[in-house]
Amino acid sequence: MKYVSTRGQAPSLDFEQVLLAGLARDGGLYVPESWPVLTANEIAGLAGRSYVEAAVAVMQPFIGGTLPAEELAAIAQNAYGRFVHPAVTPLVQLDPNLWLLELFHGPTLAFKDLAMQLLGILMDRSLRRMGRRATILAATSGDTGAAAVEAFKGREAIDLFVLFPDGRISPAQRRQMSTSGAANVHTVAVRGTFDDCQSLVKALFNDHAFRDAYALSAVNSINWARIMAQTVYYFTAAVSLGAPYRKVSFCVPTGNFGDIFAGFVAMKMGLPIERLIIATNSNDILTRTVGTGRYEPKPVVATASPSMDIQLSSNFERLLFEAAGRNSDRIRELMTGFATSGSFALEASELAAIRSVFAASRVDEAETAATIASFDRQSHYLADPHTAVGLAAATKLKGNRSVPMIVLATAHPAKFPAAIEAATGRLPVIPERLQAALSGREDYSTIAADPVAVRDFIAARSNLAPANAS
């Protein structure tokens, strides 16, 4: 499988190269040259298989050539063996036609573990095979950083730098990143928002001399391998509710558009999906875009679902590429316009293509808290604030009641105790795997939202810096 950039001016790469590169050199995002399709029989054949077996079947077409199936199976076993639920991503039924897909049974209690655990092993394996090292730079709204620390700590070929917005993530999220004690993990609080962190990462990636000197690599959802890993649970969930013989809909709490884009990929691969619902919190750029056709960021506001406090939704570019008929000239035009004017408008045909699959809903803070409280009371289910945004959006846009609605439960409530207590009057139970992070000694640095400061910080600490070579 070859991968091409959405902006059409970077070389096409194979899976291993895309895995290590992250962002394309023309500023675009890598996508497969064409979508592999699973037949109805192949999809039906996933029924009753383990998560690891399903993962191999769904991911093999994207990896083919880089990894034999047996080796991929061993890697997937290793990655998903760390999950505490035997189903890895169990479905929980709340109502006759409403389901939750629990994605928080991994080591850091958010869905990011599903892709990151796999990525840690895949990247480490590739680097060692090539005798190389890499510097991973990640912007995080909280959960990506924690998942990356857990996946990359102690891996010799890798230095990990995670940038999080100072004071804008939950203390549990911060502690998961700052208590690893690993020498190759560097946790950085940036005085700014998540969008600032993401812009810093992009600026350093676009500094090609720095990028090459430090072998920069990205594990944000701009990295294709993350999207790929996330398509798996769309298949397992849909198949357990009757796919390919019955359609299902998914409602996805969304920030950077990575997780829900994985649902779109599953659909492109042949999974019969009726609708994909984009659930946003008050940072509603995606809901406004689907409503009006105009993509225009507003200032970020802090909410109870901080992992979605995002206005620059990176992976939306991958959807635009599809909606524009894979025309990379059009994507460059949109992105250039965006860089100069701060917004862009979709053509009617592009908006229609998006609306044929996606619906969107904005859920404000009061609705989020009310949803946590009502599902706690009526269904005895304690949803985290991100999941609650999804539940509220699904309730508003239920649509065809004969089609099962699956809401993605993206985090465990214990990561957001303050919001849970405010909504329900009591604190969530803290699972054992979070206890250690909460009591460990913290170690992180605080710096300005300035690319030069970040560059100097990395240069002073990376094993790839000439002065620090070990």
Ligand X SMILES: *Cc1c(COP(=O)(O)O)cnc(C)c1O
- Taking the least distance from each CB to ligand X, the nearer of 330 and 412 is 412
Least distance to ligand X, CB of residue 388, Å: 11
CA angle 103, 229, 332 (to 5 degrees): 115
User: Does residue 106 touch ligand X according to CB under 6 A?
Assistant: no
Least distance to ligand X, CB of residue 278, Å: 9
| Cα separation, 253 vs 393, whole angstroms | 9
Least distance to ligand X, CB of residue 386, Å: 4
Among the listed residues 112, 202, 247, 415, the single catalytic one is: 112
User: Does residue 404 touch ligand X according to CB under 6 A?
Assistant: no
What's the gap between Cα 401 and its chain centre?
A: 28
User: Does residue 32 touch ligand X according to CB under 6 A?
Assistant: no
Least distance to ligand X, CB of residue 220, Å: 9
From the list 384, 359, 353, the residue with the least C-alpha distance to 291 is 359
CA angle 115, 116, 119 (to 5 degrees): 90
From the list 237, 428, 390, 223, the residue with the least C-alpha distance to 314 is 223
User: Does residue 284 touch ligand X according to CB under 6 A?
Assistant: no
- Taking the least distance from each CB to ligand X, the nearer of 267 and 411 is 411
- Taking the least distance from each CB to ligand X, the nearer of 143 and 195 is 143
> Mask: binding to ligand X, 111-140, rule CB under 6 A, as x and -?
-x----------------------------
Give 439's contacts (C-beta < 8 A, 6+ positions apart).
Answer: none
User: Does residue 322 touch ligand X according to CB under 6 A?
Assistant: no
User: Does residue 145 touch ligand X according to CB under 6 A?
Assistant: no
> Mask: binding to ligand X, 378-397, rule CB under 6 A, as x and -?
--------x-----------
96, two tokens: 């006759």
CB atoms within 10 A of CB 207: 15
Place of tokens 């979605």: 308
- Taking the least distance from each CB to ligand X, the nearer of 54 and 147 is 147
Give the footprint of ligand X on residues 201-260 (CB under 6 A): 221, 253-259
Phi, psi for residue 362 in degrees, rounded to 5: -100, 135
Number of residues near ligand X (by CB under 6 A) = 16
Least distance to ligand X, CB of residue 411, Å: 3
- Taking the least distance from each CB to ligand X, the nearer of 28 and 258 is 258
Least distance to ligand X, CB of residue 64, Å: 25
- Taking the least distance from each CB to ligand X, the nearer of 198 and 462 is 198
**Known catalytic residue at 2:** no
Decide: residue 366, CB within 10 A, 0-12 exposed, 13-18 middle, 19+ buried. Answer: exposed
User: Does residue 410 touch ligand X according to CB under 6 A?
Assistant: yes
| Cα separation, 298 vs 284, whole angstroms | 9
Which residue from 79, 277, 308, 393 is in contact with ligand X, where contact means CB under 6 A? Answer: 308
Place of tokens 């077996």: 53
- Taking the least distance from each CB to ligand X, the nearer of 251 and 458 is 251
Least distance to ligand X, CB of residue 463, Å: 29
Which residue from 31, 56, 393, 411 is in contact with ligand X, where contact means CB under 6 A? Answer: 411
Which residue from 180, 236, 281, 307 is in contact with ligand X, where contact means CB under 6 A? Answer: 307
Which residue from 4, 55, 88, 110 is in contact with ligand X, where contact means CB under 6 A? Answer: 110
Binding site for ligand X (CB under 6 A): 110, 112, 143, 221, 253-259, 307-308, 386, 410-411
Residues identified as active-site = 112
